[in-house]
Structure 1
Amino acid sequence: MATAVETLGKLERRITISFPLTDVRTEVEKRLKVQARTAKAPGFRPGKVPLKMVAAQYGYQIESEVLNDKVGRAFNDAANENNLRVAGFPNIVPKEEAAEGQLAFDATFEVYPEVAIGDLTAVEIETVQAEVSEAEIDKTIDILRKQRVHFHTKGEAGEHGDGGEAIAANGDRVTVDFVGSIDGVEFPGGKAEGYAFVLGEGRMLPEFEAATLGLKVGEAKTFPLSFPEDYHGKDVAGKTASFTITLQKLEWAHLPEVDAEFAKSLGVADGDLAKMREDIKVNLQREVAGRVKARNKEAVMDALIKVAELEVPKTLIAQDSERLAEMTRQDMAQRGMNVKDVPFPAELFAEKAERRVRLGLILSQLVGDNKLQATPEQVKAQIEDFAQSYEDPREVLKYYYSDRRRLGEIEALVLEENVVTYVLGLSKVTTKAVAFDELMGSNAQA
């Protein structure tokens, strides 16, 4: 049986549930007899172990299982009888005072809030748009060329030339030996042999690169280098060291020509340059469309958070914080980082979790009120859109439809897009053109 629901706060509730102790004992005995049929113990054949020995071995575990089952069932029954939408899991503790022959527990929990969404027609939302011009295609081709760069010894004649005068310049790859010291003492990490880097990429500190510029192979230079206060090496941060570098190898960068062979290397079988540019344009437009969609979705989600009023269950925030912490741990581990002993306090993720939970409640309300659920046709269309960028689209379809969890991710994505379309259709929308570089440099996520 359960008492009436007590209201402890805006969302917090409490129910006291109780049941006869004899019910627990009867169920425990029943389960012990079942366990005894297969129980094993030294000196006894399976199924012939005395019930007292079975009880000694399994009694505590079985009693815990029975209590958990009965308390859980009683709580669920009470929640259903009172039409309560329980958020998260209840905190159930034994009640010290109980009627004779009864077991009693207090279940404290939160309920889902009422979500009040304001007038969407009064909401102002700024969306973005961006275009892919010939300049962006040219920039992308330059990037693709740099990804396929070849280095040749500078000053030596070859099929592509000699690279000019054999002195170190920006864009060259240099291989150096260096040794650094502070107050005449070498420090850990301040010495290397055969260390290669490309001048001008900013991989080394500016003073180090500046000292390398103009050197010829075999030449050495000694120079002072001041480490920044926020340098990652704490032992040398903020200190000035004396470095000596010796240039051992000098290579110039040869970028491939934009010709048929270059186009073929990008997957254009016949080497047609016009076709190559069109393929690049299509890929850039797909990327731009994705970034624009993400930025506009974030704008809609921000607007919904401002226009909706609701209390967010602390239980759900705590659960999502823990989920985000574990996801972060797994992600870092997959990247090869040793996170075995690294703490991931859930509190660090509370702000992000609160936003996620809040948005989830708002979206759920909007979807239910306005029938914005994802249809099978929309889900299939979304998967087919994803599949366009893969060599075998059929394998992509199979990948999603063979796993209900993966399919659920697509359904959630379509549902969000339905909400975005619905909100933009009602609100006051202005559109701002953004530069390609600005858009591609953003990582908007709702």
Structure 2
Amino acid sequence: MQISIDQSEGLERLVNIALEANDIQTKVDAKLMELGKEVRLKGFRQGKVPKNILVQRFGQHARQEVLGQLMQDSIEQAITENKLEIIAAPEVIKADDTDNGGFEFQAKVELMPQIPEIDFSSIKVEKTVAEIKDKDIDGMISNLQKQKQDWKESKGKIAKKDLVTIEYSAKGKGVTYPAEGTEKMGVLLGESKVPAELVDALIGLKANEKAEVELDFAEDFNVAELAGKKAKMSFEVTDVRKAKLPKVDEEFVKSFGVESGDVEEFKADIKKNLERELSQSVNNAFKLNALEGLRKACKDTLLPQSMIQKESQHMALQEQQRAKQMGVADAELPDAAKFENDAKDRILNTLIIQDIARKQDIKTDFAKVREQINDIAQTFEQPEEVIQMYYKNQDLMASVEQNVIEAQVMEWVESKLDVKEKKKSFDDVMKPAA
């Protein structure tokens, strides 16, 4: 047997193998001899079928079986002897019998990318530092109050944040809406989609009062006939309601699952949840920054085209599925090529994390796996059921284990990078500037 390796494009290698006729024939003869002991043919006793009959009846089939096994064994030998780290099964691209009864074939393999040694201390990364303040807890409580607020009818003047109902008609160049009579519309003052001119016209009015205002309706205005048009709106205020927030008392607290009804316990729970959200956001942001720096350090790393193609196709499918989930039933599969750069980043991220874990002997901490599953479960009404669901689902468990090992690697990475801390408020972290 003769083996040679040719370099192709990038990480592709071509494995050329020539099998000798004698080696093939020896194994074919052995295969036929083995077959001859078992085969039953009319006119011959079992085990007594002449060799020439076996060759005539089963020779080609025996040769195909032998060649299949020899090809597999010889490729494995070539990979082992040449110390090739491949990412997928070899692909046979050429195969031919030779004139002297031998057999030659060529197989394509792709090598595992090699991550270079990284000088971690030279990579500068910013990490956000933030903590939960009393005002953050108060802000969350205020949001929860708004979820349970009542709208009380008011005879007073309209103010910002009031809920107002108007009956209106609008006329402009090429538009009259509605065609006859008036249309009702609810307006929550302070919502971004409400035209500012309408808000200004409403403030200070009372129920049953009338007014007019010139409006430039936005392109995404919820009335198609008026969207993107300029028109004069004539309206009458038919109802004014002001928000009445519930008191933060025992009843309010119990409505959010705090059985004791204790306000301080409620605040402690809120703080714990906010700290978890803050930690996740800070760690995710740091991970993105750190991986960007690590990718730059590995920018010359060759990536297998098969991995890039597979990941690009996966990302395209994900986008199509998201579109369908948002109601676009006939969403087409986007061109995978537009995801190629993001796919390369994802692949390189994974390879870098795997390389660090291997070189630093970082193993999955299953105590942290259990902790993460418990944290996830606590966000549901029936946490025990969620925990059991995770432990029974291999895909869910694999996802959590992957998250944990990545977090462990990033913790190690953080200790090696040149990290500069930057203090921010909770709001700045959770509501970054657009």
TM-score by length of 2: 0.76
The 5 Å alignment of 1:154-169 reads: 154-155=154-155, 165=156, 167-169=157-159
Q: Does 1:310 align with 2:301?
A: yes
The 5 Å alignment of 1:39-438 reads: 77=76, 80-81=79-80, 82-87=82-87, 108=108, 110-155=110-155, 165=156, 167-186=157-176, 193-227=183-217, 239-308=229-298, 309-335=300-326, 337-438=327-428
The total of aligned residue pairs comes to 386
Q: Secondary structure at the match of 2:191?
A: coil
Contact 1:226 1:240 in 2 (8 A): yes
1:350-384 CA distances to partner (integer Å, 9 max, x unpaired)?
22211110111111111111111213333223323
Contact 1:197 1:203 in 2 (8 A): no
Residues of 1 paired with 2:94 and 2:296: CA distance? 41
Partner of 1:9 in structure 2?
Answer: 9
Q: Secondary structure at the match of 2:9?
A: coil
Deviation (angstroms), 1:106 = 6.1
Mark the CA change 1:339 to 1:103 in structure 2 (over 3 Å): closer, same or farther.
Answer: farther
Deviation (angstroms), 1:198 = 0.9
Contact 1:149 1:254 in 2 (8 A): yes
Residues of 1 paired with 2:358 and 2:220: CA distance? 51
Contact 1:374 1:414 in 2 (8 A): yes
Identify which range, 389-398 or 434-443, moves more after superposition: 389-398
1:179-208 CA distances to partner (integer Å, 9 max, x unpaired)?
334414337999983322311122312223
Deviation (angstroms), 1:13 = 2.6
Deviation (angstroms), 1:131 = 0.9
Residues of 1 paired with 2:15 and 2:401: CA distance? 36
Residues of 1 paired with 2:251 and 2:168: CA distance? 40
Q: Secondary structure at the match of 1:171?
A: coil
Q: Secondary structure at the match of 1:152?
A: strand
Residues of 1 paired with 2:319 and 2:182: CA distance? 34
Residues of 2 paired with 1:189 and 1:278: CA distance? 56
TM-score by length of 1: 0.74
Q: Secondary structure at the match of 1:5?
A: strand
Mark the CA change 1:342 to 1:219 in structure 2 (over 3 Å): closer, same or farther.
Answer: farther
Residues of 1 paired with 2:211 and 2:2: CA distance? 84
* Root mean square deviation of aligned Cα: 3.8
Deviation (angstroms), 1:130 = 0.8
Mark the CA change 1:248 to 1:233 in structure 2 (over 3 Å): closer, same or farther.
Answer: closer
Mark the CA change 1:326 to 1:92 in structure 2 (over 3 Å): closer, same or farther.
Answer: farther
Residues of 2 paired with 1:152 and 1:265: CA distance? 21
Gaps of 5+ in 1: 21-65, 156-164
Deviation (angstroms), 1:415 = 0.9
Which structure has the greater CA radius of gyration? 2
Residues of 2 paired with 1:423 and 1:189: CA distance? 66
Amino acid in structure 2 at the alignment position of 1:151 = W
Gaps of 5+ in 2: 22-64
Residues of 1 paired with 2:308 and 2:328: CA distance? 27
Q: Secondary structure at the match of 1:245?
A: strand
Partner of 1:31 in structure 2?
Answer: none
Contact 1:75 1:107 in 2 (8 A): no
Amino acid in structure 2 at the alignment position of 1:311 = L
Residues of 2 paired with 1:191 and 1:76: CA distance? 82
